[in-house]
Structure 1
Amino acid sequence: MYRALLVTSLALLTACPVIPKDDASDGVDDTGDSGDDTGGGGDGITIAEAKALGEGANVTLSGVIVTSPLTYKADGFFIQTPGGGENNGLYVFLPAGAEGLFFEVGDEMEVTGELVDFYGWTELTVSDVSAIQITGSGEVTVDSVDPSSVTDWEVWESSLISIGGDEVTSDIDSYGAVTLASGLAMDNVFFNYSTELGATYTNVIGQLGYSFETWGLYPRTEADLQGYVAGEGSAPVPISDIQTGVVADGSSATVEGAVVTSALTPDGLSKGFFVADAAGPNNGVYVYLGNSWSGTVPKLGDEVTIKGSVDEYYDLTELVAKDITVTGTAAVPAPTELTEAPADWEPYEGVEVSLIDVSLGDEGSYGEVETNFGLNLDDLFTNVSSYANQDYATVTGHVFYGFETYKVVPDSTDDFVK
């Protein structure tokens, strides 16, 4: 959910001028301020006073304290007026990026920018990192807030707050967010945490943000998730429920007892592997890891439990992994034999199939090879171009979908049998 929030339209990215500090010793106003600009703020004002000036005001905030690292997109961070309190937190947005900016949580800084209302969230947009100066260090304040006493979260917008005794009341969605018993969301703006339905915390600390008309806590590190007690999580589902839409796109899903049926794809946009919990149509799915995956990477024949979310990625059904546990090894389900092309390849998506009596044609675009089954072989795992214009008793591979067409992706040379 936060990804969309940070994609600010160009209309909102108006660069604000850096306001120079006035050297009062020369008797000249170096700021260029004639004194009749009612839209700006000067040195020494609090964040609350700056927010009161409203959208479009150019302000310089001195002595503010950094309360967070950069977001995972590295285009923003949070600050507070020393001592914190209501209306004294602010998100600093860096449309030009943070290259050349180095700071730590607890640094004191001076920052100049323009106040922008981004879909109900007040941000301080700065033109570039030259508008930010580190001036020292200070103490970060965490405000303890009782949700039952809050009538309007607006006063805590962008503040670093602590909520005691919270519980996860939803599965993780496809964007990595959950809802909490406090009524807030919890989102992975800074890092990808692991949690599950029913998990409880003695204390959750985070920056309070606003996205898609929802207030949410953004924990900064694992240390902000205190006193974690695991919950029961969502009930396991068969892969067929994922492939037939019983589990909706974007929903969390746990699959138990599935067997890894392929190697790991090479590094790239489609890094992942296939699993199945039975042979036949609708019983296989592609598990997407991505290149930033740092968890368990299973191998062919491993039996696994996978917690993740369902994602229809350009009409390819994927299980986006959040957590993988290898529980043992098991026999790989036998490939489904096909003597001719089915009326619809959709039920075979993610399933390992063996094409019988295969005639391969010419090599096409992007390393693909034509077949007499009305779909191409693809080189997701291994180069297939050397098999062009030959006949085979069987060709085995997983059914994949990309660029609006189905393909079969063999694992290795062993999948081509004369």
Structure 2
Amino acid sequence: MKRWSIVLIALLVLSIVPAWAIKPVQAQETIIPIPEIQGYGDSSPYDGQVVTTAGIVTGIAHWTSHGKDRYGFFIQNGTGAWRGIFVYTYNQMPKYNDGTPVSVGDKVAVTGKVLESNGLTEIGYVSSIVKADGIVLETPKPVVLKSGDVAQEQWESVLVEVRDVRVTDPDLGYGEWEVDDGTGPVRVDDLMYGYTPEADQNLAYVIGVVYYSYGNFKIEPRDAEDVVLNLSIHEIQSNTTDEGASIYEDKGVATEGVVTATDSRGFFIQNGTGPWSGIYVYLGTSPKVSRGDYVRIVGTVDEYFGMTEIKTDSENVVILGTADVPAPVVLPTGNVSQEKWEGVLVEVRDVRVTDPDLGHGEWEVDDGSGPVRIDDKLYDYSPGHRSKYVYIRGIVWYSYGSFKIEPRDKKDIEAYRPNPNTISYGLTMYYSVQYDSRLSDLESLYENFTSTVSELVSYGVSFDSDVADKINWVNDSMSEVMEEYSLYEQFKNRADKTGFYLPAMIHLRKALFLGEDVKEEIQFLLPHLQRALEEIKAAQQAQEQENETETGTIPGNETEGVPTNTTQNASQQTPAINITITIPRVLIDASHGQYYVEQTGISYLVDKIENELGWEADIGSEPLTFDLLKDYDVVIILDPKTNFGESEVEALHQYVENGGGLLIAGEWYRYLNTEDLNAIVGDYGITFNADELMDDDHNSGRPYYPFVGIYNKAHPVMKFVPDDWTMYYNGDTLTISGNAVWLIKGYDTSYSVDADGNVVRIKGTNPVIAAAVDIGTGRIVAYGSSKALSDSYNFKYIKSNWPFIKGALLWLAHQE
């Protein structure tokens, strides 16, 4: 009789039996051991009989047959032949009598009929599944077999393992493939887990339950951990996607290497030297290995916020012996921050500290080729300002959007200790060359600067306190530079006779460094002063033309309208012009735990504000008050982690309503502080939505990393953005009302989802992601992405967004 007919009859019978007459199988009922049911032969002696047996669940199967779902699970008691059997639950998910689902590792007692289904011994027509906690059961372990020995009746439904096998046929059809360790092939199937192998791929092992169907025995892996590739570290690291992730992400791998460093949660291994030769092994607990141990690792490749690592546990780490730790790869500092050096032991030489405190234990050095970060993950060290080092060694680590070197101990950092008496001559010569080359134009530049200042003063121009302080500093410092240089020349003349150049070097060095600072300050101030002078001269010329018209002066007869016996004084010749010179100032709030300010960094944004716009940029950690804000032309607030106080929100309202410019940015729904951001801008017609912009067609690899490119070119904020410009984006959408106008929208293919995955803005609605609003003389620009202003992903976000941000800053400062 066909299986579906039997089930139908069973259902009809059960429908007429009172529910009280059906008793669940209890664990204390007679348990027939699985080997006895299997019968140690091709067929079961219990075929057609109802039995109760017990075992531990080793795998749960779900497949489709003729378009319908089918279910079952494997149980096994102990390790060895004949100890496993398949339980077929037909179209029902495996559940206990009380309705709770069966899970791998559960101890179960099963009652059902023994069947020989196309050569597979199984238990079907299941009437009871209960927990078998009171029954002594032995946890099964995989039986290690040769591939040629798997296809035997005794291993049917038993958990087995084949090792060091090669894929001999990657596609036998119907999800099946073939491996061989040299003793004969065995099939691998996708009943519980689908894996797509490559021809000749080398696998460390394949674990799974042996199944029989369509005349073949086959191994059924249960998940990714049951299929493990034999790969070198180089293969794992160097084969990457366009985003830099390993193509083996989420795959099981086995690899070997020597331990180069350890920390509290894992360790680094390396095989050989050069690019792609190192990787981090994450255990989650303190490792039991030491530097120099040669180990074999079995685990799963994971991309942890951009850092490729192998996740495993201590049981899958085997110490094979010891080996020499590879020599560090010597690199220029500017070449360290590359994916290929991730996890590799490197060394930078002849470096100087360019920033002793980047925060969170990080600092920065440079050998002239570009900066690199040094971190305290493995060894805590505090550098001196502008300290020089013979070398710094360590493992390259990646976190919070930056590559960094992780020294392992004090031996990895060798400070430079110069002898003043032996190097003073060389430094004097060096500083002399540098002074002549770098400051050759300092005197002429200063002369131009003082001339411009004097001319501005002659027009009656006043300077705000900040600009006046800068002008005074330039004058005082320039005097000091000249004095130091004069002292250098005096000591240099003596040193040429005595050979003692240290005093000369000290004065020249001070003149050089201070002179560079003076030059930098002049180069910052002079364009602002010259621009103001041009405006004054233009205004004067316009005033003179107006006066000529009023007095009736005509070309060729310029004295007409002026009495011949009257001499014009200076105030008549130069009309009074009321101008105060200021330099725009920007405050970037860092007092509310802003992730993209504190963790990712905003160095590119600050550099652009200071060097391209010629403005001043401050990163502030103090609470926001109106007295603080009023000294700034623009305030930038990225998505805050900690909340704003009511007084801070009121201060921001007062600031904007009194003419200030506010650039405020959001984040995607998981991290978006909608309450505070909307408290700040909600009254002005802008609302941050608790959602995330998505785009399946226009993105940088994932729908939640969409591109945007629809711009309101009629608004002055957008004047620097080319028509065909594409920008990286990751954040929420905005809702606008009242006087607020949109600046940027998503493409027609974009949409947004909320925290529950619901689509809240459908395709074709072009969600707004940037908006602007005038509040009297104050202005606000709102943007849904804080990441767009940060150094994230090697500056890709800020670089693509800068034309928009630049226009926004100029508009907010009324310099459009």
Structure 1-normalised TM-score?
0.47
1 or 2, which has the higher strand percentage? 1
Which structure: larger Rg? 2
The structure, 1 or 2, with the larger RCO (C-alpha pairs under 8 Å, 6+ apart) is: 1
1 or 2, which has the higher helix percentage? 2
